[in-house]
Amino acid sequence: MRVLNLNQIQFGTQIRHRFESRLDLGPDQRKAVQFMEDSERFDEKSFSNGDVYIGMIKGILPHDKGKYTWSDGTVYEGDWEGEKMTGKGLIVWLSGAQYEGEICGGYLHGYGTLRTSAGCIYRGGWKMNAQDGIGLKQYSNSDVYEGLWKEGVPEGSGRYTWKNGNMYVGNWKNGTIDGRGVMKWVNGDTFDGFWLNGLMHGSGIYNFGDGSLYIGTWNKGLKDGKGVFYPAGSKHPSLKKLHSLHDSDDNGVLLNIEKHEAPKASVKRSLSENIPVISRFKSFRQISHRTSSMKINLIRNDFAQDCVCHDSSLSNVFGEDQPEASVKSTLVYEREYVQGVLIMERISECSESSRKKNQQNKFSVKLVKKNSCLDIFEDRRSYYLKLNLQLGIRYTVGKITPVPAREVRSSDFGDRARIRMYFPRAGSKLTPPHCSINFYWKDYCPMVFRNLREMFKLDAAEYMMSICGDSGLRDLSSPGKSGSIFYLSKDDRFVIKTVNKSELKVLLNMLPKYYRHVGDHENTLITKFFGLHRITIRGGKKVRFVVMGNVFCTELQIHRRYDLKGSSQGRYTDNDKINCNTTLKDLDLKYEFHMDKKLRESLLKQISLDCKFLESQHIIDYSLLLGLHFRAPENMKAFVEHHESMQRQENLPSGDEEEHLILPKGLLLVSHEPSIVNTAPGPHIRGNTLRAYSMGNSEVDLLLPGTARLRVQLGVNMPAQATRNIEEDKVEAKEVELFEVYDVVLYMGIIDILQNYNLKKKIEHAYKSLQFDPITVSVVEPKIYNERFLKFLEEKVFPDTP
């Protein structure tokens, strides 16, 4: 289809040249020419290149209405202004395509309808020859898209209906499904959740056509992580509660599949009428944008029932029949997947009485809940605190960054080394107006933390954009008993935690030696601190917080999180409190991790150095935060082969068109290649690339086939083999774990390093020693804590491989 532009329609210059050649005319002749230029008349003009114009001419230029025919057969008939097509008109191309609508400056611009020779019809907004704004497009294969466009592709909210009846309502980005949305298949299956590049990615709810339901998480189209399966006929969770959980994600509002229909009266529904999970084969569905139409790689609907049966296979092993809808007590299946492979299932009973009991317990907990430091902000406390953080950090970093770099001095440390500023709501000469409440800001040791950020290779602009950008900060649930409030930057690089007065003093006192320790040990696993601040509001109430690096800043899914202290008293988590985001404890760990000899040696050596430093500062109660990313077992290749055979049957795309499809093939150690490895900015930039014994003591990268190539650093992207401790694993009869050995990628760091062994802790140790074995309690003197911590890691967590 020929697209018109200014170069094609500014033909008035050809006419103008004829008159410019008459500069040698006399005064009377020039007056006659000027009169002709000012007059309007109907005329026909033919040009040497074969183009023809018939219509109104004002002077030497087309004006008002006219018809222009190009030598190649393209025809425009409509409004003109000067030498440009401007207004409303009709363009017909030789191919048979035609556009009727608004035009500006020779471009399709405004509202119009385009019909292509292939049979596609688009009605809607245009901007500079590209679809832009609200529009509806009917593709030649009878697919229909209605929604927002940007630069010629769907962008924003929209509804896409396929010829076979499948429908998606939700967000689009650059022509592909991306963000929050609802997909409804013609077989009755529905998915409500988050998408990335046309694949299910993030949390979601999958409702099968037979009424069964799965609530869980996906990663690039595959189930990945923990979820819950509700069989057909069982009582599903509250639809309202589940939707409120989705909406709290700050990733968009819930989209209803009936969004564009007339509003209906509000009624209570079971979740089976709404939205759902994907089975192993359906998880390979992928949607991609094509110039002719939007296509989705769907496996035939015949396999919908196979997927349901496959997803319920473990239920049949236990001989459990599907409960009737009238039964108030039902079985639910807590499951865990790794790249689409089911690795664990636990059967639990969910009844009305237990549900009511849990609700009562939750209510009673709220009644006696300890006041948070954020209660001082009343109803909008979280919003005010986050806004104050952003204002203060933006001011501090902007003030300290232009200062010439220098070595820190003793005067840069301590409580008196600070930047203070008052932020009135209306603004001042030094501060901008804002929507929060008036507050005082204090930044501790600004020069020290500026040098620490540079030492950790963080750019000041990136640091400010990550925390102070428009996307803002996200709330995190507190994993501990301290009552601290946690925030996470939108790019997952930084964690912000509130600290009490004693913790602030510990950090200030420790800071000079901490600065020296992290400077001497590039691979330290101790928490990376980037800033220490305080907010004071009306009444003199203070909130203190520290900015730290996120140990789990990675593109990989973290399937398990552990907080390991080396103690055993009270170090377990109740089963009813465990969910996909729970941080587990020492007694919950049922794996030991075997890694390359050289990697293990480097890891334990650095942990020993870090613990020796903490002991010298009289610090206790620290822990190793350990994150696990599981890789799908190698013996699931049959599943992959089955998918490949299905792909051949359906003539699905292969090669580059399926670059987002991830097939589990374990992990590999390969020689380090700086030019190939991922180097995305984050808190893990600093640190050496590790050497592996199995690779001839050379630097290595971690290759995850189909996923990424990652640089192996201490505590970051560390490959290992997780072996389940079967003899020590006391599991319920209704819990089944399908594998005993997994390939895993480990992420770790030493956290909670702001608790010293003071008088209060000594009294706590004496009291608990009267009740329990003194060596099993968490609170012990620093030297014993250090020895016990290292022994636990060396013998129980990272044992030496025979």
pLDDT averaged over 10-residue windows placed end to end, the chain, 802 residues = 42 43 56 56 80 81 83 89 86 92 91 93 93 94 94 94 94 93 94 93 92 91 89 75 50 33 34 31 32 37 33 34 46 86 81 50 39 51 87 91 90 93 92 91 95 91 87 74 84 92 95 96 95 90 94 90 91 80 90 93 96 96 94 56 42 37 59 75 71 88 82 92 70 63 92 92 86 86 95 94 72
Element at 507 (helix H, strand E): helix 501-520
Supply the pLDDT for residue 505: 96
Supply the pLDDT for residue 586: 92
Place of tokens 């009511």: 356
- Predicted TM-score (pTM) of this structure: 0.70
Outline where DSSP puts E strands in 221-354.
222-223, 225-230, 286-289, 294-297, 329-338, 341-351
**What is the radius of gyration, based on Cα positions, of the chain?**
33
Measured in degrees and rounded to the nearest 5, phi and psi for residue 486 equal -120, 140
Q: Tell me how long the chain is.
A: 802
**Residues 534, 536, 540, 542: what is their CA dihedral angle, to the nearest 10 degrees?**
-40
- State how far the Cα of 242 lies from the Cα of 472, in Å rounded to an integer: 24
β-pair partners for 420: 442
Element at 631 (helix H, strand E): strand 623-631
- State how far the Cα of 69 lies from the Cα of 74, in Å rounded to an integer: 6
Sheet holding 473-476, edge to edge: 418-423, 439-444, 529-536, 542-549, 494-499, 486-489, 473-476
Per DSSP, the three-state class of 540 is: helix
Supply the pLDDT for residue 727: 54
Residue 221 Cα distances to 130, 211, 629, 654, angstroms: 31, 22, 17, 16
DSSP H helices in 401-474: 446-455, 460-468
Supply the pLDDT for residue 321: 39
The number of beta carbons lying within 10 Å of the beta carbon of residue 250 is: 11
For residue 81 the two structure tokens come to 């202004």
Helix axes 446-455, 381-400, angle to 10 degrees: 80
The number of beta carbons lying within 10 Å of the beta carbon of residue 501 is: 10
